[in-house]
Structure 1
Amino acid sequence: MGSDSKLAQANERPAHKVRVHGYWMDEHHMSHAECLKFVAATGYVTTAEKKPDWDTLRVQLPPNAKRCTRSIARASMRVAATAMPGHVASAR
């Protein structure tokens, strides 16, 4: 677990072995519909849905990495869409 990379955050160093004992993720299955109902009732927002924080992200990138702008992201999506035959992607 962890990393010895110079790009790793301080709390990820050093790489080391760990032992994880068995555990339950949850006692019950949850359907997608139940999840949507939970989100609607609580306003829960996953980490993936939150706007990324540049200061947190940049420590994981190579030195001198430039911040991605919306126009760069859209252009990247257009390139990716043309490289995926059979898939339709929209970058509006």
Structure 2
Amino acid sequence: MTIDDLLDRRAPLAVMAAVCLQIATIVWWAATRDSDTRFLQTRIEQLEQHTGEHQQVEMQMIERLARIEEKLNAQATLLDHIDKQQTGMRR
């Protein structure tokens, strides 16, 4: 057995080892990519749910603000009426 024979046998082994390593790397990369995709999809669903909840709270706050404005306008009208009565009594 000569050195050339050993090199001839080792060369295909090295190629096979390199191919196996590349295949393993591709599988690892694909698994990581799939995991990242699942994580991002879950995060998007959570954010969409929170957005919906925030929209409901925002609508409730808008309604409350509208009621407060109406009460404030009614009180301002009442104060104007009282002020006019007070002004009329002073004369």
Where on the TM-score scale, by shorter chain, does this alignment land: which range?
Answer: under 0.3
The one of the two structures with greater contact order (alpha-carbon pairs below 8 A, sep at least 6) is: 1
Larger Rg: 2
Q: TM-score, normalised by structure 1?
A: 0.19
Q: TM-score, normalised by structure 2?
A: 0.19
